[in-house]
Amino acid sequence: MLDAMPHLDAKALYGCTIHPVIFQYCEMLLNQWHDEGCDDKAMLATESGLLVCSARVFEEARLERENLEKLLRDYTQQPVQLALADARVIRAALLTYRTGRPPQEQPTETTDQTHAQQLLSDLVAEGLAKGASDIHLRFSKHFCRTCYRVKGVLVDHHQRNREAMTEAIAAALNTRSDDYNQVFNEQSTDSASLLVPLRQDGNHLSEIKVRLQKSPLSDGFAVTLRLLATTMASSLTLESLGFEPDIIKGVDCMLAQRSGLLLVVGPTGHGKTTTLAAIHQRFSESAKIISFEDPVELKQPHVEQRWIDSTRHQEGFATAIKTALREDPDVISVSEIRDGSTAAAAITAALTGHLVTATLHATDTLAALERLRDLGVAMEQLLTPGVLRGLIAQRLLYRDGTATLVAEYLVLDQVARQFALSHDYAGWREHLTRCGWRGLAERGAAQILGETPREYHYSVEGPLAK
């Protein structure tokens, strides 16, 4: 029975909300057990219906546990969920509730943040220390489960207190966002930018920009926090990012045309935005580069970076691109082509003689064309000479905890256009290979691309690739 129950740590109980009558009962029992020399006995119950007790309470204090369970049902009208925790963790949670301050926190410290705000700051600081790109929170009936996206992998899964984490998200949206003007509702879909304060070097305060996305679930809601870099991108170069010399020469060949569309493609979290910023650094400071982003992730000197709130304006990117055409730009940049209207506007800008750089979600350079077709782009228009100049596809591979960039590039020529218009991608790959082209697989990414076997044979042992 004990093994089947959730085991909670201090993070799961930090900031929990307890009904005053239930708190008095739990503290009375805690003092009684302490007088009896039973410091390994402790329990509490939260307003969300969570009853947490130590293993010894569960085994030896059935009457007290059932009394607390009845109190919990009477005062919260919630179904009860049982969980286990160490007695020291439960006592610390009760002390925090009584004093309003965690036991290890010095009372002489001064801070302008509430405990809810501080909880989010601590979560973000922990993510930065781990080198995370994103923090994932999943709110269910009784818990908030958190984890971090580090080097492409979700790590450090924890159960935290649901009430405290919900309050932290609501407080951040209400006090730390300039673009969130709603009443907090767990069952709404929301997107917002946050400025989260962090304490560094003693009392020195800094801020980090965080992009929040909240979505309802059948049993709660989910929140994703994207930690945005605040450093300047002026030191970024294609060389420093690890691009091979032939790819850099390919990029320079595309940029030398001074018009047309250049796409950087790859999965989420594999550095497309960083590559786009490094490409912008290859232009002189006198070039007028207008960049439309949602959100602004890297500060790029000499680039006019404009935030487009695509969650509130469906045609935001497309409208912004059309406006930019009247501002005499040398380069128009789009942080991501997500829909058909944005793709059409980018192609129109390229047709009018402007250089357009953008990112797109696709597995490789050839798959990017099918992705654009799925968005409703007419291939005849895209493949008009001078429109699509070329593509870069990239992946980050992690070996022994170190990220290695693997990339391929493709410069569009007349032969490539013929293959693309006839949808003969297999023939196109064979032609490229004969011309000395190396794709992602040949450059080292074969193990993550997972080439599909020619056929599977089926048996009682499962599928066998042939």
Q: Please check whether residues 267 and 347 belong to one and the same domain.
A: yes
Per-residue pLDDT averaged across 93-114, rounded? 62
The answer to whether residue 232 sits within a structural domain is no
Q: Please check whether residues 333 and 425 belong to one and the same domain.
A: yes
The answer to whether residue 222 sits within a structural domain is yes
The angle, 0 to 180 degrees and rounded to 10, between the axes of the packed helices 425-434 and 414-421 is: 160
Per-residue pLDDT averaged across 198-205, rounded? 62
Q: What does the pLDDT look like over 10-69, one tens digit per residue? A: 888 877 888 889 999 999 999 999 999 999 999 999 888 889 999 999 999 999 999 999
Which one is predicted more confidently, 452 or 412?
412
Instruction: Please name the residues in contact with 440: beta carbons below 8 A apart, sequence gap of 6 or more.
Output: 364, 393, 395, 406, 407, 408, 446, 449
Tokens of 367: 């798959």
Dihedral of alpha carbons 108, 114, 118, 121, sign: negative
Residue 181 has pLDDT above 50, yes or no: yes
Give the pLDDT confidence score for residue 230 in this predicted structure: 61
The answer to whether residue 463 sits within a structural domain is no
Q: Please check whether residues 76 and 124 belong to one and the same domain.
A: no
Answer with the one of 99, 129, 148 that is the final residue of a domain: 99
Range(s) of the domain holding residue 93 = 7-99
The CATH number that applies at residue 155 is: 3.30.450.90
Q: Which of 297, 321, 292, 319 is nearest to 308 (CA)?
A: 292
Q: Please check whether residues 194 and 327 belong to one and the same domain.
A: no
Average model confidence (pLDDT) across the chain? 87
| Cα–Cα separations (whole angstroms), residue 31 to 27, 72, 94, 185, 423 | 6, 20, 12, 39, 77
The three-state secondary structure class of 146 is strand
Give the pLDDT confidence score for residue 384 in this predicted structure: 92
DSSP 299: B
User: Looking at the 3D structure of the chain, how many domains does it have?
Assistant: 3
Q: What does the pLDDT look like over 288-330, one tens digit per residue? A: 999 999 878 788 888 999 988 766 656 788 999 999 999 999 9
Q: How far apart are CA 83 and CA 279, in angstroms?
A: 53
The CATH number that applies at residue 284 is: 3.40.50.300
Q: Please check whether residues 204 and 86 belong to one and the same domain.
A: no
Q: How far apart are CA 168 and CA 170, in angstroms?
A: 6
Give the pLDDT confidence score for residue 182 in this predicted structure: 85
The answer to whether residue 184 sits within a structural domain is yes
Share of the chain above pLDDT 90, in %: 56
Q: How far apart are CA 10 and CA 34, in angstroms?
A: 20
Sheet holding 153-161, edge to edge: 153-161, 143-150, 132-139, 220-227, 204-217, 190-200
Q: Please check whether residues 81 and 126 belong to one and the same domain.
A: no
Torsion of CA 404, 410, 411, 412, to 10 degrees: -160
Q: Please check whether residues 242 and 223 belong to one and the same domain.
A: no
Answer with the one of 199, 227, 255 that is the final residue of a domain: 227
Give the pLDDT confidence score for residue 42 in this predicted structure: 94
Q: Please check whether residues 155 and 250 belong to one and the same domain.
A: no
Q: Which of 143, 141, 168, 194 is nearest to 8 (CA)?
A: 143
Instruction: Please name the residues in contact with 127: beta carbons below 8 A apart, sequence gap of 6 or more.
Output: 135, 148, 225, 227
Q: Please check whether residues 293 and 159 belong to one and the same domain.
A: no
Q: How far apart are CA 183 and CA 313, in angstroms?
A: 19
Per-residue pLDDT averaged across 244-270, rounded? 93
Q: How far apart are CA 376 and CA 337, in angstroms?
A: 12
pLDDT bin (cut points 50, 70, 90) of residue 106 is: very low
Q: How far apart are CA 115 and CA 109, in angstroms?
A: 13
Contact of 241 with 392, CB cutoff 8 Å: no
Residue 109 has pLDDT above 80, yes or no: no
Cβ count within 10 A of residue 252:
12
Q: Please check whether residues 276 and 381 belong to one and the same domain.
A: yes
Per-residue pLDDT averaged across 130-142, rounded? 91
DSSP 444: I
| Cα–Cα separations (whole angstroms), residue 332 to 231, 238, 304, 382, 385 | 22, 19, 10, 17, 19
Tokens of 420: 């693309």
Contact of 264 with 272, CB cutoff 8 Å: yes
The answer to whether residue 402 sits within a structural domain is yes
Share of the chain above pLDDT 70, in %: 91
Where is 38: in which H helix or E strand? Answer: none
Contact of 315 with 341, CB cutoff 8 Å: yes
Per-residue pLDDT averaged across 329-356, rounded? 94
Separation of CA 120 from chain center: 15
The answer to whether residue 110 sits within a structural domain is no
b/e code 220-245 from CB counts within 10 Å (16+ = b): bbebbbbbbeeeebeebebeebebbe
Q: How far apart are CA 231 and CA 299, in angstroms?
A: 6
The answer to whether residue 462 sits within a structural domain is no
Q: Please check whether residues 282 and 349 belong to one and the same domain.
A: yes
The answer to whether residue 69 sits within a structural domain is yes
